[in-house]
Amino acid sequence: MRICELCGARYRGTPTTCPLDGGRLLELPDPLLGRTIVGRYLVVEKIGAGGMGVVYRARDASSASDVALKFLLPDLSAEVTNRQRFLREAKAANRIDHENIIDVMDFGETDGQVFLVMEFLQGIALAEEIARGPLGVSRSIDIAMQCASALARAHELDVVHRDIKPENIYLVADATRRDFVKLLDFGLAHMKGELRLTASGAVFGTPEYMAPEQARGAPLTGLADLYALGCVLFEMLTGTPPFKGTTPDLILKHMREPAPLPSTRAPGVPPELDAVVAKLLDKQPQRRHRDAYHLLEDLRRIADRLPAPRSAAPGSDTLINRETAPRVPSLSLPADSVASVLPGTWEQRVTVFRQMVSRAYPGHTEPEWIVPSIDALQSRIAEVRTLERELHGVTEQAKEREAASRATRLRVGRAIGELGRDESRTLGRLDELASVLSDARRRLVDSEAKLARMMRGLHTLGATVSRESASTLREVGGIAAQWIEIDAQVTTALREIAVCERERDDLRFQISQLKGRLGTSGAELEIELGAIRERAAQLGAEREAAVDDLQERALVLLRHFSAFPELQDAVRSASFAPDGRERVAPARR
């Protein structure tokens, strides 16, 4: 894409001067701006960059909505491992599909560039909000609960984020709540069963929020994400993370130094919330919350005793329709303004060119090449229209399959979430019963030893009945009754444990069946969408080439007619397309 340094007109192709004013045409600094990716996503503006990628706002031709288009940095694209890690974000987010996790709708490759298509969010990163000061208890709990809800679903589907931090938590405001959380950047996520993309023992993550086991390079579970969320909750409450220092200092502190309680830095934090944060930040993973559902229960109990925040926190039982969850609405462009890179004015342009011939050469003395050139331009326009219709059909086919797959993922994901909550409660009950059983067995051993000692002394009583012998027998009987009662408690606990274990196993079986169904559905969709994406990319490339050819043909005619002073009005009307995207030469700015 080139732009006139004088009038700002944009041109595709390889022209060097503007036919309107002779101005020099300069290459736009970003070659992606103005491009249509895989025939569907028009790149509008650059909105950010990170360690692995660059993010643009783009318009989705199939839905007339804005999306975020993330490209892997060119210098990283050559490495297969980098490309796989980049696409991991799409695969992880697609596997989960939760209202509090950013929606990754599409991904692919074009001209050697790997890209993701995500919902375009309007809001603020949690890191920016914390920079203004502590968020307060109610608001911090609300945000933490939404994060925990998202992580519960992710962990249930065997996805560990590995980089939970305020920069990856986005707050979107809508009409119903102040802070609707969107968890971002699953680029470092690990999915069970995937091939290892990093060396064993390699450490990834952000030091301020890194669990001790993550710092050691040990295999990670979802408990590492809970530790990181504990650091984030601490920071929301106090304005600072639990530990400060250089990277080596931070890693050592996370591994060895007990975390301070939030109330030592923010006196308004209640003791029960101190206890939750302390549990999350325990150095030993097994002493943290057993899972994100468990954390949700603890946070809800605290939230229920606090004044309601400006917006109610969603419970773990809240089922929000993905279609109604907050996301960045588009700019509300009319559908036909984004559905085609070739606006209807191209046909009008042909008409104007024919009128120019009549005005410039009233005696039909035009050069022999002009009318055939206009005829060829008209034929080429028809070819592009055919390509666009086919591309539209392919895009609609992809949309329908994506929508059907999304509905399946949502339905199955919610079912897995319900079963996961039940499993978590069952595991909690098993923990309680294990504690009861351990205590009962200890008391049973003590009672049995005491009873055995007393029974060994019974032979000294003889056959004579006396007050002393009766008293001894009564004491022995009391201890025996106690032993019987404790033994019954052990038996009851064992029976209840067996019931809970069967429930746990049944729940795990149901979850595994649903996961298998989800995996099969996802694999089938990926194969189908892969073929659709390939066809769309091919059609998009053909259309781009055809449009470039149209531009070149139109420029030849414009240069010719711009030499006629009496045709300047017609030249301008044939030079600009009102859609503001694919232009031969737009109006002056």
DSSP code per residue over 310-353? SSPPPPTT----TTTS---------HHHHS-SS-THHHHHHHHH
121 token code pair: 């969010």
187 token code pair: 């680029």
Ordered domains of the chain (ranges, CATH): 1-31 (no CATH), 123-304 (1.10.510.10), 342-575 (1.10.287)
* pLDDT, tens digit, 9 for 90 and up, residues 323-366: 444 443 333 333 333 334 454 577 888 888 999 999 999 888 99
Q: What's the one-letter identity of residue 85?
A: R
Beta-ladder partners of 45: 57
Q: CA-to-CA distance for 36 and 224, rounded, in angstroms?
A: 40
Q: What's the one-letter identity of residue 200?
A: S
165 is in an annotated binding site: no
Going by DSSP bridges, is the β-strand pair 10-11/53-60 parallel, antiparallel, or unpaired? unpaired
Note the pTM of the prediction, 2 decimals.
0.75
Per-residue pLDDT of the chain (589 residues; tens, 9 = 90+): 677 766 566 666 666 776 655 678 777 777 788 888 887 888 988 988 877 788 999 998 877 889 999 998 888 887 888 887 787 777 777 777 888 998 888 888 877 788 989 999 989 999 999 999 999 999 999 999 999 999 999 999 888 998 999 999 999 977 677 899 999 887 666 655 444 444 444 556 789 999 999 988 888 899 999 999 999 999 999 999 999 999 999 999 999 999 999 999 999 999 999 999 999 999 999 999 999 999 999 999 999 988 765 544 444 343 334 444 444 333 333 333 333 445 457 788 888 899 999 999 988 899 999 999 999 999 999 999 999 899 889 888 888 888 888 888 888 888 998 999 999 999 999 999 999 999 999 999 999 999 988 887 777 776 777 788 888 888 889 999 999 999 999 999 999 999 999 999 999 999 999 988 888 887 888 788 888 888 888 888 888 888 888 888 888 888 898 888 888 877 776 664 433 344 444 333 3
Question: Which strands make up the sheet holding 104-110, listed edge to edge?
Answer: 36-37, 41-49, 53-60, 65-72, 113-119, 104-110
Residues in the chain: 589
Cβ-based neighbours of 539, under 8 Å, separated by 6 or more:
39, 387, 390, 391, 394
* Helix, strand, coil distribution of the chain in percent, nearest 5: 55, 10, 35
Q: How many CB atoms lie within 10 A of CB 318?
A: 12
Q: CA-to-CA distance for 3 and 16, rounded, in angstroms?
A: 10
* pLDDT, tens digit, 9 for 90 and up, residues 293-333: 999 999 999 999 887 655 444 443 433 344 444 443 333 33
Residues designated catalytic: 163
DSSP H helices in 132-270 = 137-156, 212-215, 222-238, 247-256
CB 72 within 8 A of CB 119: no
Beta-ladder partners of 55: 48, 70
